[in-house]
Amino acid sequence: MHFPTASTPKGCGHGAPHLNKNLQEVVQTFQSALDPSCWHVKDNVGGIRGLGAMASTLRKHGSVMATERNQEAVASSLLALGSNNILNQDDETGMSAAMDFAVGIWILENGPPREILDTSEGGDKSLISFYQKRVPCDCLKERHDQLKAESKCGRCEYCHGKRELSQLKLCGGCGITHYCSVECQKAEWPTHKDHCKELETSMSIKQFDFIRKVLARAGCGKWFMERVVVQLKKNNAQAVIKEINGSNAIVEMKDGSTLTVREGEDSMVPLQEHDAVLVIRSADVGLEGEVVCIDGTDAILKDTNENFCIVGFVQVAKIA
């Protein structure tokens, strides 16, 4: 994957600022963390590389990135890099790289969860719109106008063919991966089955901790704490997460006692009708509701405003 440097963008600079040596190192760390050989499972939450890459970057350069000014400078630099990928690589690779940069930008901006989820699920049009409304130049206007009339699109995981989202079907196991046909899903299964199983099982403690910290930067991470119900594998007893510390979690049992649970010792609680739940994935992330009906691998939720929505089991967590 090719990443142009922020200091020498092709043609227009798309508003890229001059970065000092420390901030250049921050951008380089982020780019390096996007390399597949540098991925870490604990950072690759939801399959969005930009989340893990920015988490690694902030851990390494926390003192440099502590100021709002530096966050804005790095975000502007990533905007320039992402714009160059859209303009100079008119293929899936370029758009994929631009999506990774968009996630990094969103974290630095403390953006709302729905925005980045809509951008990632909305195809090329949504991604270009994300950049178009941020860059100070008109370089993306032509591309944006070309896609303006298009419906939201996605790609089949197997053949990579672009389709309207309404024409793509979600994997019934993980509820995340899209396919254009049964044939493509069957052909992809030998590759997807291990990943599907990983997504279908509960989020690990580390994943909860990471998502909570990322969403806390957007001002909405608190609702992951003191509410998520898990099931202990050793005795199937249910407990509520009270505190997360790295790969360990302190949970509260029904009798009020507390217990330290390590990575891999818990799982998600199977949903039942009338359970109170929190949406932890999809564009409805953060939505709370009651399970009013279960249909296969989907659940129908009713929120506090009496609105209804359908979500997959892997997209929700039971809360106390």
Asked if residues 231 and 267 have their Cβ atoms less than 8 Å apart, the reply is yes
Q: Measuring CA to CA, which residue among 165, 163, 170 is closest to residue 185?
A: 170
Nearest to 3 by CA among 96, 112, 132, 110: 96
Average pLDDT over residues 151-155: 67
**Tokens linked to 129:** 């719109």
Q: How far apart are CA 121 and CA 102, in angstroms?
A: 13
Q: What percent of the chain has pLDDT over 70?
A: 70
**Percent of residues, the chain, with pLDDT higher than 90:** 16
pLDDT in tens, 173-214: 666 678 899 899 888 888 877 666 555 444 445 455 555 555
Give the pTM.
0.50
**What pLDDT, on a 0 to 100 scale, did the predictor assign at position 28?**
94
| Mean pLDDT, residues 225-236 taken together | 81
pLDDT value at 155 more than 80: no
Model confidence over 264-292: pLDDT tens digits?
788 878 888 889 887 766 555 567 788 88
> What average pLDDT score do residues 111-133 get?
76
Q: Which residues of 122-153 are buried (b: 16+ CB within 10 A; e: fewer)?
A: bbbbbbbbbbbebbeeebbeebbeeeeeeeeb
Secondary structure of residue 113 in the 3-state scheme: helix
Residue that wins the pLDDT comparison between 297 and 73: 73
What radius of gyration, in Å, describes the C-alpha atoms of the chain?
20
| pLDDT tier at 118, thresholds 50, 70, 90 | low
Mean of pLDDT values over 223-238: 78
At residue 103 the predicted structure's pLDDT band, cuts being 50, 70 and 90, is confident
> What average pLDDT does range 144-166 have in this prediction?
75
Task: Give yes or no for a contact between 16 and 137, defined as CB atoms under 8 angstroms apart.
Answer: no
The pLDDT value recorded for residue 316 is 80
Alpha-carbon distance 229 to 317, whole Å?
Answer: 7
